[in-house]
Amino acid sequence: MASQTKPVLHGYFRSSCSWRVRIAFALKGVEFDQVPVNLIKDGGLQLTEQYKTLNPMQQVPAVEIDGITLSQSLAVIQYIDETRPGPRLLPADPKKRAQVRMISDLIASGIQPLQNLYVIQKMGAEKMQWAQHFIDRGFRALEPILKETSGTYCVDDEISMADICLVPQVYNAERFKVDLEKYPTIKRLNQTLREIEAFRVSHPSCQPDTPEELRG
């Protein structure tokens, strides 16, 4: 049974992983509180000893929910799906559910970590080229998969965890000037999803910690 206490999301406005969790909460209609963790200020507030007690990997997000603290966005999304009413984020059909997990893992493990802030900071002047290379590499694999699995959304015609992972990754691709014309299926799905309210309200341009100059 879900607790009556609102979940608390410790995250960063532009973090893909934090954004995924915001989308999941919005799709489920779950109210939650946000505690901003600025990944840049003072060298990164995620690196403080205080935050390390919430997430030993010193990454965002960390989510306090139902008396436990969870990190790793896909684990958080699946917990939300299993404990909250509303639209399913993983399909009932085992084959479709496996496809959703495959797409989600491809993005969350195969693309996003290679161009996240921690890695990019290590790359110095080569960061743009590095990010483009690994996003392109991932999208070249993702495009034919989505061509096979997609309907209106990533897997058939129901929004799932795969869609939750896709939109933040395309946002990053745009930030790093990746040519999306090469990936028509990815581009089509992203355009469709970004019109949906849950994706719009969770967008980095309208979070409590969004800098004024980036507000949309």
Alpha-carbon span 163 to 155, nearest angstrom: 8
Residue with the two structure tokens 């003072």: 42
The number of residues making up the chain comes to 216
Task: Look up the pTM and report it.
Answer: 0.93
Tens digits of residue pLDDT in 167-197? 999 999 999 999 999 999 999 999 999 999 9
| Residue in 124, 121, 117 with CA at minimum distance from that of residue 172 | 117
Query: Is-contact 143 183, C-beta < 8 A?
Result: yes
For the purposes of burial, counting CB atoms within 10 Å of the CB of 120, is it exposed (0-12), middle (13-18) or buried (19 or more)? middle
pLDDT value of residue 3: 55
Alpha-carbon span 159 to 78, nearest angstrom: 14
Q: Give the rounded distance of the alpha carbon of 202 from its chain centre.
A: 10
Alpha-carbon span 120 to 118, nearest angstrom: 6
pLDDT value of residue 2: 53
CATH 1.20.1050.10 domain span(s) along the chain: 94-196
Distances (CA, A) of 4 to 63, 65, 88: 15, 10, 21
CATH 3.40.30.10 domain span(s) along the chain: 8-87+200-214
pLDDT value of residue 183: 98
- Look up the CATH number of domain 94-196: 1.20.1050.10
For the purposes of burial, counting CB atoms within 10 Å of the CB of 20, is it exposed (0-12), middle (13-18) or buried (19 or more)? buried
Query: Is-contact 10 60, C-beta < 8 A?
Result: yes
DSSP secondary-structure letter at 65? Answer: E
Tens-binned pLDDT, residue by residue, of the chain (216 aa): 455 689 999 999 999 999 999 999 999 999 999 999 988 877 777 878 888 988 888 889 999 999 999 999 999 999 999 999 999 999 999 999 999 999 999 999 999 988 777 787 777 778 889 999 999 999 999 999 999 999 999 999 999 999 999 999 999 999 999 999 999 999 999 999 999 999 999 999 999 999 989 887
Query: Is-contact 183 124, C-beta < 8 A?
Result: no
8-87+200-214, CATH topology level: Glutaredoxin (3.40.30)
- Cis before 61 (ω within 30): yes
| Residue in 66, 60, 34, 65 with CA at minimum distance from that of residue 48 | 60
Residue with the two structure tokens 């790793």: 72
